[in-house]
Structure 1
């Protein structure tokens, strides 16, 4: 039986931004594996020159374990196949023309591209405001303008986040954001993106012209500015705020281009494709899993009855590809898909806690002393008030006592006290930053996503599965995700995003 999606991909030339990031690699692998006769995948890579870009292509894509199934399929011809299909393009999404300085390269792309897929992002919740605006907001305008110059472009796919909804509760629809809208109940407050860009530039210039500018001082102040601006307009952090502004630009300036916006929730390890459990980089719950398994974390902030909305990376990629094919040449369209689990197949925090406890009881980590680490069931702090009270009794009061003793003993253990004090402040800062997700009461409607899946042929539904209803969360967490986290993330592999 033929696959409509696989057939569409044949001979298609696709530009992928964010190509060295976690999700982009899963996308690239899937395309190359299901359709080896795809045209060229142009991968945009930040690098000083083509030689450096090729080095990154090898190190961060071709040599990754994610591609082991492809490597087995092609055997000794694997490298030749990959270099034939993957063409590195030196560029930067935050710069006009995607930072592609070679005019001949730009002209070639404008002449040959069929699809543009944008996965580039900085996902730090408290990223520098200037950096986040460049990568998450203005980059959208840059690749949109680039796409308008492509002579035969069929569709542009943009990966956003479901959390552009901020801290809304109830069912959150697959609805576009309007230019200038905010998430606060103030009819007099409007959001102007150019004003935000000007403010970020003015603030940065002010910092750089100060008497004692330092990289740390600049970063701290720009991070603070981003959080202040986000919260002023109703978003909990700089990441979701700047991604929301990127969507606004896309909706306002898209012209006749067919646009697909994919809004995943928290993207986690692959469910099945190309194999279970692969991932890079640490997401919110993965930091908790690693800290808990290593015995460093005994409590965390969460309501056990609330829903943790996660989605496997291969489900996101399969939905991206299906939407890309569905809306190719669908001119004047803007289509939005929440790729999420909270409505169709909700996962409670209590399930994560129970499965994590059972997993590390059966698969304990080994400490630096060579002894197995015994875990106790993690203690959930169900409100910010209970968290503050817990931290005060367990850490702040002992710290205050230590501070007094340190003064009386002439700074005898000043270094230890300072380290503990910084750690305490850092934990409190992180709690405030992640609080909106620990107590998030929204559910993402995924009607469009489910309808698209049901519209696929039986054959395509099997190859490009994103039916979240069929996921058994206990099985996924215990047998796939936690082992994947401990193998690929706990060992120190990080994520790059270009």
Structure 2
């Protein structure tokens, strides 16, 4: 099919299907699993069988991890309807021990499972803008390639979750089409892991440096085993830091702002190569935020893109930041993303009739934009009325001053914090016998921790400023057309005579959406409750 006009009903489509779901332990994956269970699983009906790919460990089995997952507040309404346990849901839910970072997904029953799966919903990812590039590529790119190989072997419908910012440094309108290739994805993988090997070799040559720093931290009299253990930890962290810094620089050379979006772009290309002329769907959300309504209004359990900024404003720690007040910050509720993922699997054709994938962008900027200035004002007013506390006192929140240049912001941090902290640390080391003084050694450790913390802030500022200084306009007409075809009209009455909410809601042209209400009544209260785990008023 090539149009939403001939879209089958979602319950009919998923009835009796075998579904492989990846990323279920992540934020999006939890909400997606809950929605599938809520909408389609009924012990008295024809339910799908949902196979969730969960990696086991020496300590915890995949079944136990799934059991722990089902204890999450995200599954509260499932528990209100029926027992929510692995055993009680065995008619429609099964854990599969697997690993994206292993060949054949680490599945001992690869062929058997591929014979029972009809739909693959792939939302597993390492969502970390500051992650070392090799780790992002290992999970996001190579992992997606392995999932696509499985879907191909199973002859299953494949939906891959990407990111709207996969468009990279391209400004202006970003259409719902596949990327034009400017790189060879396999060559980029080889180049990255070659660079990793170089850093690993260099780190071995620096062994004496790591041992010396370990000695500084542990002090005189430390045993050799403790020194070598700490030195090895420092060596690995050094490699990760080098790969993170190199990854950002290399991604920008290739046309992307950071390693995360670069890895997702490579993932799309690798999946397309595997699928060849077999149609599949790509869902590209912008900044994923808490739930608008499902499974709970404001539900969020992860420290995502906006959470560090919200907390920084609430604690009075962010008083200036790189950005433009008029810049549109594109966000989308997680339940809207999951609705699109579920609906996208039903579309198995191409607008072009050539087997090319269908791309669905989940974004809000084209129909209900929210600017950085509006967001800052909303967040600040919220915390002025419901403040966070420090040492038992309410934190005073002042307006955030936006700096038009990320480099100016970073330069200011270096002059005000990094250089003085480094200078003080060096001064401590010049004092005679400082290594034998617990006080001086602790002082140096504190200075070094603070310096490394500010260094991390500079990295995050460079990464975040990409989204507060630049602006994209993500086209979503295909997505809105798809969701208009699957949404249950709100005019259908419920048993109580009240309007029934749409079962698969999404943004629509002309439909009101209040970002102030979302931030102040849903997202921030949800973040404070489930992420920061604050003890705050019951109205939350």
TM range (shorter): 0.7 to 0.9
Whether the 8 Å contact between 1:261 and 1:337 is mirrored in structure 2 is: yes
Cα deviation digits, residues 92-118 of structure 1 (max 9, x gap): 123221121x1xx22321111110011
Q: CA separation of 1:203/1:170 partners in 2, compared to 1, >3 Å: closer, same or farther?
A: closer
| Cα deviation, residue 379, structure 1 | 2.5
Q: CA separation of 1:194/1:78 partners in 2, compared to 1, >3 Å: closer, same or farther?
A: closer
Distance of 1:333 and 1:302 partners within structure 2: 37
Distance of 1:204 and 1:396 partners within structure 2: 27
Greater CA drift, 120-129 or 383-392: 383-392
Name the Cα RMSD after superposition: 2.8
TM-score by length of 1: 0.87
Q: CA separation of 1:199/1:398 partners in 2, compared to 1, >3 Å: closer, same or farther?
A: closer
Residue in structure 1 matched with residue 513 of structure 2 by the alignment: 471
- Write out aligned runs for 1:185-264 (5 A): 191-209=183-201, 210-211=204-205, 212=207, 214-264=235-285
Greater CA drift, 132-141 or 15-24: 132-141
Q: 5+ unaligned residues in a row in structure 1: which ranges?
A: 183-190, 493-498
| Cα deviation, residue 388, structure 1 | 4.1
Greater CA drift, 463-472 or 379-388: 379-388
Residue in structure 2 matched with residue 298 of structure 1 by the alignment: 319
Q: CA separation of 1:240/1:308 partners in 2, compared to 1, >3 Å: closer, same or farther?
A: same
Distance of 1:465 and 1:28 partners within structure 2: 17
Structure showing greater radius of gyration is 2
| Cα deviation, residue 234, structure 1 | 1.3
Q: CA separation of 1:267/1:148 partners in 2, compared to 1, >3 Å: closer, same or farther?
A: same
Residue in structure 2 matched with residue 134 of structure 1 by the alignment: 138
| 2:75 is the alignment partner of 1:45 | no
SS in 2 for 1:156: strand
Whether the 8 Å contact between 1:303 and 1:383 is mirrored in structure 2 is: no
- Write out aligned runs for 1:419-458 (5 A): 419-456=449-486, 458=488
Residue in structure 1 matched with residue 113 of structure 2 by the alignment: 109
Whether the 8 Å contact between 1:176 and 1:251 is mirrored in structure 2 is: no
Distance of 1:328 and 1:42 partners within structure 2: 25
Distance of 2:84 and 2:161 partners within structure 1: 32
Whether the 8 Å contact between 1:48 and 1:90 is mirrored in structure 2 is: no
Q: CA separation of 1:77/1:223 partners in 2, compared to 1, >3 Å: closer, same or farther?
A: closer
Distance of 2:100 and 2:375 partners within structure 1: 37
Residue in structure 1 matched with residue 128 of structure 2 by the alignment: 124
| Cα deviation, residue 26, structure 1 | 0.6
SS in 1 for 2:292: coil
SS in 2 for 1:174: coil
| Cα deviation, residue 51, structure 1 | 5.9
Distance of 2:486 and 2:187 partners within structure 1: 44
Residue in structure 2 matched with residue 335 of structure 1 by the alignment: 358
TM-score by length of 2: 0.81
| Cα deviation, residue 294, structure 1 | 2.3
Q: 5+ unaligned residues in a row in structure 2: which ranges?
A: 1-7, 208-231, 435-439, 491-500, 535-540
Distance of 1:201 and 1:381 partners within structure 2: 36
Distance of 2:457 and 2:113 partners within structure 1: 46
SS in 2 for 1:267: strand
Residue in structure 2 matched with residue 345 of structure 1 by the alignment: 368
Distance of 2:84 and 2:483 partners within structure 1: 35
| Cα deviation, residue 331, structure 1 | 9.0
Q: 1:307 aligns with which of 320, 328, 336?
A: 328
Q: Relative contact order, CA 8 A, sep 6+: which one is greater?
A: 1
Distance of 1:264 and 1:163 partners within structure 2: 8
